Amino acid sequence: MFGEVFICQFPFTSGATSKLRPALVLFDLRQDAIVCRITSVLHAGPLDVPLTDWQAAGLLKPSVARLDRLVTAERTVFARRLGALTADDLQRVRIVWNQRMRL
């Protein structure tokens, strides 16, 4: 599942409401998955990964995977699969994650 893109109910950081939006699966936890938000608002923070092959992932616009916007979600909130990241985009996600998310 790593690298697959789904439309899902993604909660706002306040936790009050959620919105249907694209999400990238980072970790498969069987019934759940850890996902990050994908947005077409082009951010340039240290945990933002521009997706060069966004069309191959089933996205409608140039987009960014926001590795600082994480959620553990039940797979039941995945409304539909859009596509998957290309090998190049997956490698960029891995590099940013491994450089920035060390404990």
CATH number at residue 77: 2.30.30.110
Range of the domain at 28: 4-100
Burial class (CB in 10 A: 0-12, 13-18, 19+), 73: buried
Overall domain count for the chain: 1
Q: Which residues contact 24 (CB under 8 A, 6 or more apart)?
A: 3, 4, 5, 35, 36, 38, 65, 85, 93
Measured in whole angstroms, the distance separating CA 45 from the mean position of its chain's CA atoms is 15
Give me the sign of the Cα torsion angle 59, 35, 92, 5: negative
Res 95 pLDDT > 70: yes
**pLDDT tens, residue by residue, 5-61:** 999 987 766 666 777 899 999 999 999 999 999 999 988 899 999 999 999 999 999
Tokens 């993604």 correspond to: 10
pTM of the model: 0.90
